[in-house]
Structures are given as C-alpha cells and as structure tokens.
Amino acid sequence: MSRTSRIAGAVIGVVALAGSLAACGGDSLEKEKGGSDKGSGSGSGKGSLVVGAAGFTESKVLAELYAQVLGGAGYDTSITTVKNRELYEPSLEKGEIDVVPEYAATIAEFLNAKVNGAKEAEKKPVASGDVTATVAALEKLATPLGLKVLPAGKAVDQNAFAVSKEFAEKNSLTTLSDLGSSKIKVRIAAGDECEVRPFCAPGLKKTYGIDVTGIDPKGVGTPQSKQAVKDGKDQLVLTTTTDAVLDSYGLVFLEDDKKLQNADNVLPVLNAKDAGDPEIAEALGKLTDVLTTEDLAELNRKVDAERAKPEDAAGDYLRSKGLIKK
C-alpha cells in the first residue's frame, strides 16, 4: 500500500474487505512474513509479540521502532509485513498480529466504514482535526472488536500543502488562511482526485476561500509535483507532513491553521487480549512521548534517500533517545 493510498482509501477500501480476505485467505501473513527477532529479553519469560507493518517506508520504520522498544522491554518480537489495512486489521482482531502502528483519523474512518457501512461512514465521519475527539471516537469503535487504542503522540502524518519559499516571502504567506486572504489564483500539483476530495481543492475553497483554478495531476508529493511548484508552473503542492525532502526543492509548508485535515497522529493499536499487558503500553508510551513529526520525516529520509535499512535507522534513533541500550 502506498502512502497516498492510506490517505484516500480508508473508507473506500473497506468495501472490498470481504472479497480481499476470501481471495487471500489465511496465507497472507505467511507469504508476507519479514523482519527479524528484535527481542533483547528473550529469556525473560514475557512472551513474544508480532508487530504488523504495511507496505510503505514509514510503516516499516514505525514497526521497527515498536519491535525494538518492546524488545528492549523484554519481549521477543518479530515483524510481519502485510500489504494493506484490509488484510492486517482482521489479523489484529484475531491475534495473528499483536500490535500495529496506526494513524488516528485513518483507522477511525476505516473502522467506521467496517462497523457502520461505507455509505453511512461517508455521511457521518467520526474523524476530525481534533485529535482528542478523533481518538475518543476510535476507541468506541475499536473496543468492541477486541482492540486496544493507546494514546496518540505528537508525530502526525497527514496531508499538507506547500509553496515555494520565494512565493511565500513575496506574498507574506505562512498559513493557508494567508493564501486565501491574498486572493491569488493557484493551481495545485496533486493527484487528479484532488478535484473532488474534501481535504483538497473543495476543502481549500470552502474552509480558506482559496481561489483554485485547476489541478495539475502529477501525484501526491511526487518529485514531479514539487518540481512544478519550484519552477512556478503550479503554486501549491499537496504532500504530507512527514515529507523530508521538501527543503531540497526550496519549498515550505503553509500551516493548516483552521484544521482542514483530519488528525492523523501516530498511535499504537493492540490486540487487547494478547497484548493488553500494561508493560507493553508503558514501553510503547515512552516512544510515543518523544517521537515528533520532524523525527519521523528524518527517519523516512534516511531510508528513502540514504538507503539505510529501516531496522538500522530505528535502532540508531532509539539509542539516541535512550529508549534502548547502546
């Protein structure tokens, strides 16, 4: 699953859930098995935990962070990579996976669609820009399914918009409200779905009064999209808050000051029966408390740009924060 798919597909994806599971059966976990034992306390008797990861860089990095911090707390851990949420969420309910790194708003809407139906979820979304309210709604949906939601942290990976530094300075822009007030006509470099998605062009018009004249369908956060804004062909690019290479294109984020985007703060979701031990929550909580959006962006950069292995980048980070032994 690509990072873009996670943004757009929370509600839509659940429609295909039954068919996907029937087609893939129970073999998906074995086929996608990856990672290695990170447990530093294998003789402690605390047991073993399977950490789930989706098929994109950031999820793999987060899974490594979870696995290694839990290993440092005395658990034997392994990582299983499953392509998408439609497959790994049922495995989490069954206890085939014990813990996954998740995004508050996205998993909330996924479960909303699963529990209430996609059409009803579209009519009555439970996620918003308020992280506290979003997590509360998520807990109500997750608990009856046997899932335990741990507190969300400061790290957030959600849609974000950026402009060139030159454009921002020339027009005194730091927020999306500033852009709306400027009455400047803007063309957005994004996926073609931006034209109809409420978080993109329609939301920018409604929430901020931004004069969107068109969409340049170069993709979400792609090099081509960023280059188009750098070159002045487009004025605004849709990317994500953990985009680690924005600066190399001479671009800067505009703050979503009216919270158009849903609160996709990172948080752990556990199988309540198999991973409900308070020591697990405590270990993961220490990581959640220190991990920031900037940290996550830098970890993504090391893996994608410097070709570091996710396990190495995660280990270096955890040691630097004193969360595992050096």
Which CATH number fits the domain that encloses residue 236? 3.40.190.120
What pTM, to 2 d.p., does this model score? 0.83
Please give the DSSP secondary-structure letter assigned to residue 291. Answer: -
Domain limit, last residue, from 232, 254, 276: 254
Domain that holds residue 217: 159-254
For residues 68 and 164, state if they share a domain.
no
Residue 64 domain flag = yes
Degrees, nearest 5: CA angle 92-63-52: 20
Tell me, what's the pLDDT at 326? 81
Return the residue matching tokens 């280059």. Answer: 227
Residue 146 domain flag = yes
- CA atoms within 13 A of residue 165's CA, in its CB half-sphere: 6
For residues 279 and 299, state if they share a domain.
yes
Report the alpha-carbon distance of residue 69 to residue 284 in Å, rounded: 7
Extended beta strands in the chain, E state: 48-53, 76-81, 99-103, 147-149, 159-164, 185-190, 211-217, 236-240, 251-254, 266-271
For residues 57 and 135, state if they share a domain.
yes
CB of 84 closer than 8 Å to CB of 110 = no
For residues 211 and 291, state if they share a domain.
no
For residues 145 and 211, state if they share a domain.
no
For residues 118 and 206, state if they share a domain.
no
Report the alpha-carbon distance of residue 15 to residue 9 in Å, rounded: 10
- CA atoms within 13 A of residue 190's CA, in its CB half-sphere: 28
For residues 180 and 64, state if they share a domain.
no
Domain limit, last residue, from 204, 228, 254: 254
Report the alpha-carbon distance of residue 171 to residue 307 in Å, rounded: 37
Tell me, what's the pLDDT at 225? 96
For 251-310, the pLDDT digits (tens) are: 999 999 999 999 999 999 999 999 999 999 999 999 999 999 999 999 999 998 899 999
For 43-90, the pLDDT digits (tens) are: 356 899 999 999 889 999 999 999 999 999 999 999 999 988 999 999
Domain count, the chain: 2
Report the alpha-carbon distance of residue 171 to residue 183 in Å, rounded: 11
For residues 198 and 81, state if they share a domain.
no
Strands of the 159-164 sheet, one edge to the other: 211-217, 185-190, 236-240, 159-164, 251-254
Q: Which secondary-structure segment (H or E) carries 311?
A: helix 310-320
| pLDDT for residue 117 is more than 70 | yes
CB of 56 closer than 8 Å to CB of 233 = no
Residue 325 domain flag = no
> What's the Rg (C-alpha) of the chain?
20
The more confidently predicted of residues 141 and 13 is 141
CB of 238 closer than 8 Å to CB of 194 = yes
Domain limit, last residue, from 254, 273, 301: 254
Degrees, nearest 5: CA angle 200-1-249: 55
